[in-house]
Amino acid sequence: FEAKKRQNGSVFYSASLDAGSQESLSLLSELRHAVEAGELRLYLQPKVDLQSGRIISAEALVRWQHPERGLVPPMQFIPFAEQTGFIRALTAWVIEASAAAWAQARAQDLALRISVNLSTRDLLDQDLPAKIQAMLDAHGARSDALCLEITESAIMDDPQRALHTLQQLQERGFKMSIDDFGTGYSSLAYLKRLPVHELKIDKSFVMAMESDLGDAKIVRSTIELAHNLGLSVVAEGVESAKAWRLLAALGCDEGQGYFIAKPMPQEQFLDWLRAWRAPEIGSIGADTMLS
Ligand code: C2E
Ligand code: MG
Ligand code: MG
Ligand code: MG
């Protein structure tokens, strides 16, 4: 197995833990325990309408508040959860927590759509659409309160089955989004057929576009492609006012990134949302940067 030792001696886990090993079994039981003991934390990161500056949605990002290791980021346990199948329980936890967060916002007259990340294994779960529906119903949320983010690679793992699940999710009225667009290997033929309403440009392109003309052109073409397919576009990794300006000039619909806010614990989110005032970002001619 490949566990990385940190200076303080604590062990973090990489994606390639051998599924049958002792370490793997103990991490799995630790994860199970984490859910029961309430060690998972729902973090929310806002997405802003780049033209109006309004916040209409947020992405749910999970963290593990480990009693000894501190706050563990998702990349240190999500891949493992995917490998062992535990991801289904984890996804259920995130959806339940997101539905509760939605209801809490609703009770304060704040309208919010929450995006939840799904993984490959979730897409192979034929009961997923009904399970999600039941959790939303329990909180009095309509299906469009939720958006499901799916990466290209998760879909391309088993395109037929994924498409089937996506169609079922669509029939129930859930919004869907392609995450990390540009990093996977999805074909445009599939993109055209997917019942999604949104495309998220991967942060690697957005973060590089101010210094790299090639990345700026990829961002511009992706926005155009999405709009031509009738999809709304979100840019991830908006880290500066300049990036916001350029994206707005290119017609990008929404932005998400540290310039707006880092992901924050769910309990802080509503206060943050109430205090939010869109910054004066000015405007820029997209052609001045992209000629
Ligand atoms: P993702 O779905 O693409 O989420 C966006 C990631 O980019 C988040 O990292 C977020 O904190 C980070 N990010 C947002 N804005 C910026 C920015 O301006 N600059 C930079 N450098 N980073 C930014 P995070 O929270 O560490 O999550 C990493 C990945 O873990 C997610 O990528 C997603 O693939 C996965 N993940 C997180 N929560 C869940 C979950 O509940 N379920 C599943 N299946 N996967 C999850
Ligand atoms: Mg995502
Ligand atoms: Mg993403
Ligand atoms: Mg990502």
Residue nearest ligand 1's atom 27 by CA:
74
Per the DSSP assignment, residues forming a β-bridge with 255 are 48, 235
Residue pLDDT, tens place only, 231-261 = 999 999 999 999 999 999 999 999 999 999 9
- Residues within 5 Å of ion ligand 3, judged at the Cβ atom: 179-180
Asked whether 62 lines ligand 1 (CB < 6 A), one says yes
Residue 3 has pLDDT above 60, yes or no: no
Asked whether 117 lines ligand 1 (CB < 6 A), one says yes
Q: Name which residue leads in pLDDT, 2 or 168.
A: 168
Question: Rounded to whole angstroms, how far apart are CA atoms 39 and 130?
Answer: 26
Residue 214 has pLDDT above 90, yes or no: yes
Residue nearest ligand 1's atom 20 by CA:
237
Q: For residue 175, count CB atoms less than 10 angstroms from its CB and return exposed for 0-12, middle for 13-18, buried for 19 or more.
A: buried
Asked whether 115 lines ligand 1 (CB < 6 A), one says no
Ligand nearest to the CA of 237: 1
Residue 16 has pLDDT above 50, yes or no: yes
pTM above 0.90? Answer: yes
Q: Name which residue leads in pLDDT, 192 or 142.
A: 142
Q: What are the b/e assignments for 180-210, b being 16+ CB within 10 Å? A: bbbeeebeeeebeebebbbbbbbbebbbbbe
Residue 83 has pLDDT above 60, yes or no: yes
Residue nearest ligand 1's atom 35 by CA:
74
DSSP 75: G
Q: Name which residue leads in pLDDT, 174 or 18.
A: 174
Residue 287 has pLDDT above 70, yes or no: no
CB of 154 closer than 8 Å to CB of 190: no
Ligand 1 pocket test: which of 59, 117, 260 has the largest number of ligand atoms within 8 Å of its C-beta?
A: 117
Residue pLDDT, tens place only, 95-138 = 999 999 999 999 999 999 999 999 999 999 989 999 999 999 99
Residue 17 has pLDDT above 80, yes or no: no
* pLDDT-derived band at 193, boundaries 50, 70, 90: confident
Q: Which amino acid is at 177?
A: S
